[in-house]
A and B are shown apart, each in its own frame.
Chain A
């Protein structure tokens, strides 16, 4: 289980790098792209935490989180396009 700490550190570094784009991004769509990548990475993080704590119920949490993130990104895209 020591290897899991290394993978959690890699995921944390990736999340921090995309957080830089959220704060820095010149346009709104840049920030939205970064948030989309962060939600994808967070879904993987929840699945890794399910193995870290040994509880299968956290995978269901990751599935619901991915579904809500997908709906949110589609809603934001429609809003930027002027269709909402």
Chain B
């Protein structure tokens, strides 16, 4: 009983600390891309810690073992969907024209887009795929 409760409480503490770090990165970083980078990673890790930790802690406190099953389901869902939503948001930010920070040194996605446009201009006989990625 006590060992599970102690492990769960430690996981919950680590998770909430990572929540705090993600919010700190959200107000500290200079750019929307940097903000997304810092806050999404640490918020996902913090969610895993908090949710699995609550399941272990509840089982250690004497609740039903179904707690750990439900919390692991929520944790796996967040682990799968949080990077997808972050990726979609940041691609929308780039395509809607949000500028990079002036201290940024590399822009691989912009180079990729410009190279693709240049290929389409140099070889116009290849039909560009209109709306192929919709």
Chain A 43-78 residues near chain B, CB threshold 8 A: 43-44, 47-48, 50-51, 54, 56, 59-60, 62-63, 66-67, 70, 73-74, 76-78
Cβ-defined partner of A13 (8 Å) among B23, B35, B36, B67? B23
Cβ-defined partner of A44 (8 Å) among B35, B50, B66, B91? B50
Whether A27 and B54, one on each chain, are in contact in the complex, defined by CB atoms closer than 8 angstroms, is no
Given the interface contacts A18-B23, A33-B36, does A77 sit within 8 Å of B77 by beta carbon?
A: no
Whether A70 and B74, one on each chain, are in contact in the complex, defined by CB atoms closer than 8 angstroms, is no
20 A-B residue pairings within 8 Å (CB atoms): A10-B19, A11-B16, A13-B23, A14-B22, A16-B23, A17-B23, A17-B26, A18-B39, A29-B96, A33-B26, A37-B43, A40-B78, A43-B78, A47-B54, A51-B54, A51-B57, A54-B63, A77-B88, A80-B92, A80-B96
Complex Cα distance, B82 from A30, in Å, reads: 17
Complex Cα distance, B96 from A48, in Å, reads: 37
Number of interface residues of B (CB under 8 A): 53
**Which label, helix, strand, loop or mixed, suits the secondary structure of the B interface?**
helix
Interface centre among B9, B32, B86 (most CB of A within 10 A): B32
Residue of B nearest to A55 (CB): B63
Complex Cα distance, B131 from A82, in Å, reads: 12
Chain A contacts to B: CB under 8 angstroms: 3, 7, 10-11, 13-18, 20-21, 24, 27-30, 32-34, 36-37, 40-41, 43-44, 47-48, 50-51, 54, 56, 59-60, 62-63, 66-67, 70, 73-74, 76-78, 80-83
Residue of A nearest to B95 (CB): A81
Q: What distance in Å separates the Cβ of A30 from its nearest Cβ neighbour in chain B?
A: 5
Cβ-defined partner of A21 (8 Å) among B12, B13, B26, B67? B26
Whether A40 and B20, one on each chain, are in contact in the complex, defined by CB atoms closer than 8 angstroms, is no
Cβ-defined partner of B70 (8 Å) among A17, A33, A56? A56
Contact partners of A13 in chain B: CB under 8 A: 20, 23
Complex Cα distance, B44 from A2, in Å, reads: 25
